[in-house]
Amino acid sequence: MANGNISVPIQLVLGNQDIIERETVTAVPYNFTISPNGKWEMLIAAEDVEIKKGAVIEISTEDAVIDENTVALPCAFCHHALGVVLNVKIQGLALVETSRKIDSVVFLPIQDGMIEKGDLLSVINVFPVIVER
């Protein structure tokens, strides 16, 4: 079923701490149907890093692949005693119709401490979707 939405100009802001790029594109909001069957994907620290309470930090993770035509939703539970994952990061665009590789997370420490390589930082819920364009 088409949703009849109209194209909207948006500005994409991509890059990292060193280089920020902006690109104006046209996007169309669309509907999707989500499957009741999903999977859990674990986000595991790929490095040791010292953290300080309240200082948001990016932590490298073991690669976690999110398949095309899926959506990833955060799990509501805190999986690490020292803090919580606020968001995941990938290189490039996170298009639902393409495979995406999570390579780091944005982490908010709630206590001072040490994240160790191999620590479970978070779990995300991944659900297949059918896109209705």
Mean pLDDT on 38-52: 97
- Over residues 67-79, the pLDDT tens digits come to 999 999 999 887 8
Structural domains in the chain, sorted by start: 33-132 (2.70.40)
Give the burial class of 50: count Cβ atoms within 10 A of its Cβ; 0-12 exposed, 13-18 middle, 19 or more buried: exposed
pTM of the model: 0.84
Q: φ, ψ for residue 96 (rounded to 5)? A: -60, -30
Nearest to 104 by CA among 65, 66, 64, 60: 60
Q: Residue 1: is its pLDDT beyond 50?
A: no
Evaluate the CA torsion angle 53, 57, 59, 65 in order and state its sign. Answer: positive
